[in-house]
């Protein structure tokens, strides 16, 4: 009974199965994917360990801290960078 249920489910699911990205191997090599992953990792680290991030920021010289943009500006810069890199020709992977 279990195998027949699995077969029926597989038959129902097969036409519905969707792909988020048509060519995931090429998408995994894209610069925008790497920048998004690195940005998410940094943001996750800052969110998970705020005291470490505050300590690292406070150890920077005052002049350098004044130059750094606020977090909302950094988020907009990261978004613009990811968006721009999505449309940039990236070597051999575009054919």
Residue 79 belongs to a domain: yes
- Tally of structural domains, the chain: 1
Is residue 81 within 8 Å of residue 35, measured between CB atoms?
A: yes
38-67 pLDDT per residue, tens: 999 998 998 899 999 899 989 999 998 888
Residue 20 belongs to a domain: no
Residue 18 belongs to a domain: no
Q: What is the pTM of this model?
A: 0.63
Is residue 31 within 8 Å of residue 90, measured between CB atoms?
A: yes
Distance CA 73, CA 71 (A): 5
Tokens of 54: 């505050």
Residue 49 belongs to a domain: yes
Residue 12 belongs to a domain: no
Mean pLDDT value across residues 69-83: 87
* Burial classification of residue 73, based on how many CB atoms lie within 10 Å of its CB (0-12 exposed, 13-18 middle, 19 or more buried): exposed
């Amino acid at each position: 009974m279990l195998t027949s249920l699995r077969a029926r489910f597989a038959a129902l699911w097969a036409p519905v199965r969707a792909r988020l990205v048509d060519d995931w191997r090429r998408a995994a090599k894209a610069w925008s994917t790497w920048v998004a992953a690195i940005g998410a990792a940094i943001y996750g680290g800052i969110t998970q360990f705020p005291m470490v991030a505050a300590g690292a920021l406070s150890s920077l010289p005052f002049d350098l801290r004044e130059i750094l943009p606020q977090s909302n500006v950094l988020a907009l810069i990261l978004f613009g960078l990811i968006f721009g890199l999505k449309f940039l020709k990236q070597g051999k992977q575009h054919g």
